[in-house]
Structure 1
Amino acid sequence: MSNILDGLTIDDLINNNKDAEINIETLDDTKVELMQKKIDDGSIFELTLKEIFSYLDLSYVDKRDKKGALWVIGDNSLNDLMQLFEKHGFKFIFSSKGGRASKNMPAWFTTAKGDRLSPDGTTEQNYEIIKNYGYISDNTRPICINYIRWYNNPPAFDIREWNNTSCEKPGKGIVLNKEEILKLRDVLREDTIFSKDELLQVIDLGNASIDDYGLVTVLNNKGNWSTEARVVDWGYKKGLDIRKWDQKHTKCGKGVNLKQSELEKLISILKSIEL
């Protein structure tokens, strides 16, 4: 099973609050500059929308799975920022009175499907699976291991949920480069999950920092986010958790949380990959 909690801060999880605190955002030129920089170097196309919103410190509410809209909370001064989203596939419309999802605060909304921006302005999932290494779970949405090219980015290793084992529609997951996948392969053991007695549990965070818990390895620590492998219990059962965290470990991106049987299959697949 893959268990992912996105878009909520750790404080929200501690308080068992499913709806994060909503704040009205106003334009910060730094947000436009940060987004444009990631567009220019292409790294933004590897991120999901929610990861981008978190990176830009934007409050959002996503109701698209309930036939609603994706709302970004903020006033009309976010226009320049929203134009960047439109240029890459997501046209947001401003509503001064917002909607029920935004608690009637000013907000921008879109009903466009998809989860990632695209260089050419389309919202279709643009990917090429160069090599499929198999799947590590038999769930309704299996977790598959692929060597994949997202949009026009260099190929990378991908651990992700899909709608089936044929990998026709992608879900939540994590993209790792060669250096990161090698580091992961070198540190993983079949007892990795059970060896972490200092398990991170959401309820513990009021008394201690995530830095004290469950770290297996830091795969990448560049910029404001680091990619980490940890043993984490999100309230279900502890598992190997691979995802991005901000420097303060108060926000996290999408990733995967693997149970013991999935960890063992992952280790087997990683050993078979010629790197």
Structure 2
Amino acid sequence: MRVHLVDGTYELFRYHFSPGNRDPEQGAARGVVHSMLQLIDDGATHVGVATDQVVESFRNQFWPGYKTGEGVPPELMAQFPLLEQALASAGFCVWPMVEHEADDALGAAARKAASHPDVEQVLICTPDKDLAQCVTTDGRVVQYDRRRQMLIDHDGVVDKFGVLPESIPDYLALVGDTADGFPGLPGWGARSTATVLSHYVHLEDIPDAVGQWEVGIRGSARLATTLAENRELAMLFRKVATIADDAPTFDRLEELAWAGPKAEFPELMGSMGGEHLVERAEKLKARVGQA
């Protein structure tokens, strides 16, 4: 059995800003429902979708510059409750996050699903670099970029970032993450960070004195000084970048099994201009029932 865990926030943003979206009020939510039905059509059987019902999270307590809902188009923000209702009525397991973020739900669900003996593989469906930290050595948890149809396993993370999955929070702490609103440390770029962390793995294992470094890179003295002077800040950024895998998701694996739309789905889709999705969902339900 394979489990698909989908970043609903990413999907909603993607459809909203798509050049083909001519309905800014409901088009993105309708597009995500279509996308999830396509996932079933492609063979998925167990699906969970995480959303950011509130953009702010517990991380805003740690770093005042952390991302907020400021600047997000109001017509897009207004579609989160609609999306969650639509996905639930379509028969999908949905996790709207308030204190946590959708990323946390994906990480928590991946850990829980991967521990189940019936699960062969968990696919975290998002290109978000934060989730690379959840990819496992044994291949049971991987990332999947559905738009590019690209599977990113343990070796793929190393190829892309130059560090192990477990070093991703340390990596982001040093290079920063503009999308999430924290800057990293001055001078620490992707290449230098990857070189140092590929050897030391975690921040606390990097010596303060450059003379103790066992890796040689350009500007190492300046980088070592910057880290030594800002180590506490770097550790804070790592805390912010670390997935909280205790976010509330599912209790039983059976909750993720798609069994078709609920009774209220046709009426809701009718109000959203998605009548064509009703017939598609029913056909998929019939096919799943015959499998």
TM-score normalised according to structure 1 size: 0.28
Highest relative contact order (Cα 8 Å, sep 6+), 1 or 2?
Answer: 2
Which structure has more helix as a fraction of its residues? Answer: 2
Larger radius of gyration: 2
Which structure has more strand as a fraction of its residues? Answer: 1
